[in-house]
Structure 1
Amino acid sequence: MKIYVAQNSGFCFGVKRALKKTFDAAEERKKRIFTYGPLIHNKQAIEKLTDLGVESVDNVESAKESTLIIRSHGIPLSIYDKAKKKNIEIIDATCPFVRRVQEIAREYYNKGYKVVIIGNPNHPEVIGINGWCDNNAYIIENDSGVKDIEFTPKMCVVAQTTITLEKWNSIIDKLSEKAGELREFNTICLATKVRQESCADIAKKVDAMIVIGGYHSSNTQKLFEISKKYCENSIHIETSDEIPFEMLEGCEKIGITAGASTPEWIINDVVKKIENKGGD
């Protein structure tokens, strides 16, 4: 049995940065520490933060006179003002790539453009971006959403950083058919692109593909979709305890990739368990 682990898997730059800021704050512990929403979409990592006394809240009222860490997904612009009024210290761990999307949305909204966000309307990153243009953006998750748009003379399009390039291109093609002036900003994160390409490359050559990551992680879900496209025998798990060994029986080549919120120790644990089982 041969195991192929995607070179580009596990924590991305934005997640590493957010975790470092959070662990540093927990070590200093000047005040109670909260994160605005779960810091990352990984249950095991969140449990470690909880052990350090870092709690998650979904509104600033619950974090009065404390330290509030903004997760890598970012937040609506209005939350910063609310936090300031509540005497809350902000540690901003918004991913720089996400901040760029927020600033583009803000800039073009102020210039009179109608902003279109391609992404999941329920994802915190998209909710945050929309909050930088006063929650007035059109949010499109798939091709069918284009028909619901009221086209204006000037439009600006940005992307949730974790969507697939295939989705971006497909929706842009449909928007271009109807739009007048259309300013396109492909804001898919480079790490996301490389991660997805690496996943596809491995999925094409293996008998089974394992995608590791939180079930609520958008980028992990995208990896699973890509993996399934090239390898029907694809499995999405959170930890090594969920490995369905019956699906790996008779497989000579097994591929492994992981979402941007998956700790390295979880990836290593999955690899080790498969290796040990293969040696039985």
Structure 2
Amino acid sequence: MEVIRSKNAGACYGVQRALDLALKASEGDGSAFTLGPLIHNPQVVANLEARGVLAVKEPEQATHGAIIIRSHGVTPAVRRSVEARGLPVIDATCPHVARAQKAAATLAEECGYVVVVGEEGHPEVEGLVAYAHEAGAQVHVAETAADLPVDLPEHVGVVVQTTQTRDALDDVLEGIRAQGVAAQVKDTVCTATRQRQQAAAELAGQVDAIVVIGGRNSANTTHLAEICAAECPRTHHIESAAELDSAWFAGCSSVGVTAGASTPDDQIDEVVQRLERM
């Protein structure tokens, strides 16, 4: 069985930067706390915990060492709480997320009403909503056009969760324009996310089965799996090589491998090696 790895897969710049910052904080006798899991990858979070980098829910739970703001970013209120602790702060917010936060605030000032295209309750989306709120806007979260309210104002700003798909943005924009509403759009979909999605769709259309690696709590990995499933019914979303089942690939002459932006290379390599031995 031929195993083909996607040309764009695995940890993006923002994730790798966050990991590097957290690992550096753990060196020597250092200790650190992340506000929530650093990234949406259970294996990586467990490894960091073993190194003394612990995930906490509230800034007050960080009693010593440094506080790491995770790659998804935080709300302005949480950032103020972190800074008030008086401990060293390591900002591991993905630069693309930081750009989206600034875009949300700018649209709020210019439009007064902001639609955030994304998954309600996701930590990145909560941050985007909070930045728009603080800048004085009314905010609504929509993952699809069906999520839009029917009483939008004449002019709205639109910002996008960085890991959303282009199709999701287009769908929401179509819904907005169908109401006769003008949309001022800040396209903040991450380039790396876009590349992974395009490469995954292309690969899924060429193989008999495809494996998507990444946390089940990872939005961008979930989207990758959905994209692959649309092209290849034998799509399998796993978190680690231990989940692979040889029965999945019965009769397959080729299998593709892709991974979300929160998946380090060593996890991808392990899956590829396990597949090659099947």
- Label 1:113 to 1:245 Cα distance change in 2 as closer, same or farther (>3 A): same
**Cα offset, 1:86, TM superposition:** 2.1
**Using the alignment, how far apart are the partners of 1:29 and 1:131 within structure 2?**
35
Q: Unaligned regions of 5+ residues in structure 2, if any? A: none
Structure 1 counterpart of 2:228, which letter? S
- Label 1:157 to 1:112 Cα distance change in 2 as closer, same or farther (>3 A): closer
State the match for 1:138 in structure 2. Answer: 140
Structure 1 counterpart of 2:7, which letter? Q
State the match for 1:96 in structure 2. Answer: 95
Taking structure 1 as the reference length, the TM-score comes to: 0.94
Residue 176 of structure 2 contacts residue 182 of structure 2 at CA under 8 Å; is this kept in 1? no
**Using the alignment, how far apart are the partners of 2:188 and 2:194 within structure 1?**
11
**Using the alignment, how far apart are the partners of 2:194 and 2:252 within structure 1?**
28
- Are positions 1:254 and 2:252 aligned together? no
**Using the alignment, how far apart are the partners of 2:131 and 2:39 within structure 1?**
21
State the match for 2:226 in structure 1. Answer: 225
Query: Aligned runs of 1:1-280 on 2, under 5 Å?
Result: 1-27=1-27, 29-30=29-30, 32-134=31-133, 136-146=138-148, 148=149, 150-277=151-278
Q: Unaligned regions of 5+ residues in structure 1, if any? A: none
Residue 207 of structure 1 contacts residue 251 of structure 1 at CA under 8 Å; is this kept in 2? yes
**Using the alignment, how far apart are the partners of 2:88 and 2:201 within structure 1?**
42
Residue 65 of structure 1 contacts residue 87 of structure 1 at CA under 8 Å; is this kept in 2? no
Residue 41 of structure 2 contacts residue 214 of structure 2 at CA under 8 Å; is this kept in 1? yes
Structure 2 counterpart of 1:216, which letter? N
Task: Report percent identity of matched pairs.
Answer: 35
**Cα offset, 1:245, TM superposition:** 0.9
Structure 1 counterpart of 2:35, which letter? Y
* 1:134 match: secondary structure: helix
- CA deviation string 1:30-67 (max 9, x = no partner): 5x410011001111111110111110111111124541
**Cα offset, 1:2, TM superposition:** 1.2
Structure 1 counterpart of 2:220, which letter? N
Residue 11 of structure 2 contacts residue 263 of structure 2 at CA under 8 Å; is this kept in 1? yes
**Cα offset, 1:150, TM superposition:** 3.2
- Label 1:121 to 1:64 Cα distance change in 2 as closer, same or farther (>3 A): same
- Label 1:164 to 1:53 Cα distance change in 2 as closer, same or farther (>3 A): same
* 1:137 match: secondary structure: strand
Residue 173 of structure 2 contacts residue 183 of structure 2 at CA under 8 Å; is this kept in 1? no
* 1:23 match: secondary structure: helix
* 2:159 match: secondary structure: strand
* 1:158 match: secondary structure: strand
CA RMSD in angstroms, aligned pairs only: 1.5
Residue 138 of structure 1 contacts residue 149 of structure 1 at CA under 8 Å; is this kept in 2? no
